Amino acid sequence: MTTEITSRVAGSRRHNARTSESPRTDAWNHTDILDLDDFTREEIDTVLELADRMREILDRRIARVPALRGFTVVNLFYEPSTRTRASFELAGKVLGADVLSLSASTSSVQKGESLIDTVRTMRAMRADAIVIRHAMAGAPYLAAKHTDASIINAGDGAHAHPTQALLDLYTMRRHVGELAGKRVVMVGDIAHSRVARSDLWGLAAVGAEVVVCGPPTLLPRGLRAGDRPAHAESALPPVTIETDADRAIAGADVVMALRLQSERQEGGLLPSLHEYAQHYQVTAERLARAQPNHLLMHPGPKNEGIEISGAVAKGSHSIIEEQVTNGVAVRMALLYLLSGGKELPGEAAPAREEARR
Ligand code: NCD
């Protein structure tokens, strides 16, 4: 296995040395991944290019390389998760890292331990990267201030979900190529969606034309450039706001349906689910207005029959399952970059001395 990888990669190095096929990890400048608002276009490109390499590894019959041997990843999830948590676990394991998953319901968090204490405890056990999902916006930022382990935000309240945004960009780019000028329409509960917020930063960085669509009660204030105070810390990139789903979807290259985040709603935001579905469900009829070769996405978990119809979710334009696969590849790329990896995976172990141990 190792020999096969070494010769494969050595071969590609011989032929492709310093070509566009070499991942450009020099454009990477992060020790934590908290949101995409501080990612440059070059950094996004670095992640997406490396994700391509990782996707190749993931698709091998035996998907294992030793690039992260000796690197420890801890998943610290204070909110439910299926795909994000499993995705980080698999990403670490494919690269040979040690991965540990803790859920708040079975850890000392139940005994009142603070986030900071838990993070410091994990670091004391030599965790190199700690992946945090938390209901409070800002929790991963707080953790990052109290540890020198790398913190990855796997979703904080309604604020940010940067790894989901990167996998969304990667998936779009695989199909669409250059995203500049492409019409990307997000439909649903924008106000409570951390996915939408991080997607907006990423899509703005790559120059896509973004439309957000939902009932007025589910659209965040301050999205239009003129609406927001200058220098507001929570400012989002300007986008087109649309409350009519048919108009929003017209001409779309990509349509992304978003779940109603009922756990974050205070109630009273929607007259009824039935009415919501009638006006905002992504259906075949609505998608008929999009570009003929449009893509349909959803970060999951989806509620078929509410924000998306079952037929289109499983239809030929849907790349929802591919988003899940790509999520593993993108998280492999991110863990690799955080580990200080400079060589192609499998070529040589990243220099541990440079990692923050
Ligand atoms: C999203 C999340 O948790 O923010 N899911 C995910 O990570 N794939 C979206 C959601 O919960 O609706």
pLDDT digits (tens, 9 = 90+) for 300-341: 999 999 999 999 999 999 999 999 999 999 999 999 999 998
pLDDT tops 70 at residue 202: yes
Spell out the long-range contacts of 102-110 with Cβ–Cβ below 8 A and sequence spacing 24 or more.
102/74, 102/75, 102/76, 102/77, 103/77, 103/78, 104/76, 104/77, 104/78, 104/79, 109/78
CA of 299 relative to ligand 1 center, distance in Å? 6
pLDDT tops 70 at residue 16: no
Q: Verify that 275 and 173 share a domain, yes or no.
A: yes
The residues that bridge with 254 in the sheet, in sequence order, are: 184, 295
Q: Verify that 68 and 206 share a domain, yes or no.
A: no
Instruction: Give the best-scoring range by mean pLDDT among 17-26, 122-131, 340-349.
Output: 122-131
The CB of 157 under 6 Å from ligand 1? The reply is no
CA of 344 relative to ligand 1 center, distance in Å? 31
Q: Which of 97-111, 197-211, 281-295 comes out lowest in average pLDDT? A: 97-111
The CB of 163 under 6 Å from ligand 1? The reply is no
Q: Which of 78, 79, 83, 84 has most ligand 1 atoms within 8 Å of its beta carbon, as the pocket-test mutant?
A: 84
**Cα distance between residue 61 and residue 300, in whole Å:** 27
| Ligand 1 atom with minimal separation from the 193 CA | 4
The CA-atom distances, in angstroms, between 98 and each of 125, 126, 129 are 12, 11, 10
Q: Which residues contact 177 (CB under 8 A, 6 or more apart)?
A: none
pLDDT tops 80 at residue 225: no
The CB of 195 under 6 Å from ligand 1? The reply is yes
The CB of 118 under 6 Å from ligand 1? The reply is no
CA of 101 relative to ligand 1 center, distance in Å? 18
Q: Verify that 312 and 167 share a domain, yes or no.
A: yes
Q: Verify that 66 and 111 share a domain, yes or no.
A: yes
Q: Verify that 141 and 166 share a domain, yes or no.
A: no
Tell how strand 72-77 and strand 98-103 pair up.
Answer: parallel
pLDDT digits (tens, 9 = 90+) for 25-81: 778 989 999 999 999 999 999 999 999 999 999 999 999 999 999 999 999 999 989
Burial class of residue 269, CB neighbours in 10 A (0-12, 13-18, 19+): middle
The CB of 154 under 6 Å from ligand 1? The reply is no
| Ligand 1 atom with minimal separation from the 154 CA | 7
Write the CATH number for 87. Answer: 3.40.50.1370
- Residue 178: how many other CB atoms lie within 10 Å: 10
**Cα distance between residue 26 and residue 343, in whole Å:** 11
pLDDT digits (tens, 9 = 90+) for 137-184: 999 999 999 999 999 999 999 999 999 999 999 999 999 999 999 999
Q: Which residues contact 173 (CB under 8 A, 6 or more apart)?
A: 48, 179
CA of 310 relative to ligand 1 center, distance in Å? 18
| Ligand 1 atom with minimal separation from the 195 CA | 4
Q: Verify that 146 and 201 share a domain, yes or no.
A: no
pLDDT tops 80 at residue 106: no
CA of 257 relative to ligand 1 center, distance in Å? 12
The CB of 155 under 6 Å from ligand 1? The reply is yes
The pLDDT of residue 230: 53
Nearest residue (by CA) to ligand 1, atom 12, is 259
pLDDT tops 50 at residue 7: no
pLDDT digits (tens, 9 = 90+) for 274-300: 999 999 999 999 999 999 999 999 999
User: Number of folded domains in the chain?
Assistant: 2
Q: Verify that 103 and 240 share a domain, yes or no.
A: no
Q: How confident is the model at residue 353 (pLDDT cuts 50, 70, 90)?
A: very low
Q: Verify that 237 and 345 share a domain, yes or no.
A: no
Mean pLDDT of 213-223: 86
**Cα distance between residue 351 and residue 328, in whole Å:** 23
CA of 349 relative to ligand 1 center, distance in Å? 33
Q: Which residues contact 348 (CB under 8 A, 6 or more apart)?
A: none
Q: Verify that 168 and 293 share a domain, yes or no.
A: yes
Whether residue 316 contacts residue 175, with contact meaning beta carbons closer than 8 Å, is answered with no
pLDDT tops 60 at residue 4: no
Q: Verify that 103 and 248 share a domain, yes or no.
A: no
Mean pLDDT of 18-31: 69
The CB of 188 under 6 Å from ligand 1? The reply is no
Q: Verify that 118 and 178 share a domain, yes or no.
A: no
Q: How confident is the model at residue 23 (pLDDT cuts 50, 70, 90)?
A: low
Whether residue 234 contacts residue 208, with contact meaning beta carbons closer than 8 Å, is answered with no
Q: What's the domain range around 67? A: 2-7+16-159+324-354
The pLDDT of residue 352: 41
Mean pLDDT of 109-117: 82
Q: Verify that 242 and 295 share a domain, yes or no.
A: yes
pLDDT digits (tens, 9 = 90+) for 249-271: 999 999 999 998 877 776 777 87
Mean pLDDT of 80-105: 94
Mean pLDDT of 84-112: 89
The CB of 197 under 6 Å from ligand 1? The reply is no
